[in-house]
Amino acid sequence: MYERPVQGGEQGGHSAFAKASADRPVCEAFDELFDAYEQRIFNLVYRLVGDYEDAADLTSETFVRALRGYDRFRGEAQLYTWLYRIAVNLCKNYFRQQQHRSRLHSYSLDAPLEGEEGPGEREIEDVGQEPQRMVEARELEAQVQQCLLQLRSDFRALIVMRDIQGLSYREIAEVLQCPEKAVKSRLFRARGKLRELLEPYLRG
């Protein structure tokens, strides 16, 4: 369930894209950007909104806005935290639009994740566990996602970025444009709420 964020300087890192206008067409560099980050942004958004089609649309919109806003990107933050910021802000707008419906989307482990070569795999690590433990891991994964969707959206984003995708406190602070201290405080409360929601399942 844990993902390591791509760091600046790795394949598709912000240094390659930032030089696009000098070295090659923006569209060429943007293709590299999309290949490097599309799956991670989709996983983030899908965790937040809980709906496959909406997540796919929001992911596409994230990259459309990134391309449109390229000339305003000055490199003060890592490229992937800039992309995360766009995605999280789009999700905030999505939640505002959905508030009047007040519904929770169901989560299916059988639903495919969108990838560049067709459906991808869920973030459950296959370590050669016996079937019973694999079933239990999948059940826990589904339960965690259901409980995530019951958290308020800002708590949900913190849990996904820190505990599922492995961003540092500094990176999350860049995404949310707030102090690291605030990130730690809010994350502590978010984890407490998630534990409360998971407690009946873990007890039983």
Q: What is the pLDDT along the chain (204 residues), one digit of tens a residue?
A: 445 444 443 333 444 444 455 555 667 777 888 888 999 999 999 999 999 999 999 999 999 998 888 777 666 667 889 999 999 999 999 998 887 455 545 444 444 444 444 444 444 444 455 677 777 778 878 888 899 999 999 999 999 999 999 999 999 999 999 999 999 999 999 999 999 999 888 776
- What totals of helices (H) and strands (E) does the chain contain, helices first? 9, 0
83: closest CA among 40, 145, 141, 25?
A: 40
Q: How high is the pLDDT of residue 133?
A: 74
Q: How high is the pLDDT of residue 128?
A: 53
Decide: 172 and 161 in contact? Cβ < 8 Å. yes
Q: How high is the pLDDT of residue 142?
A: 85
Tell the CATH topology of 14-197.
Answer: Rna Polymerase Sigma Factor; Chain: A (1.10.1740)
At 113 the three-state DSSP class reads strand
Structure tokens at 81: 């935290």
Q: What is the CB neighbour count within 10 angstroms for residue 155?
A: 19
35: closest CA among 8, 77, 63, 4?
A: 63
Decide: 117 and 186 in contact? Cβ < 8 Å. no
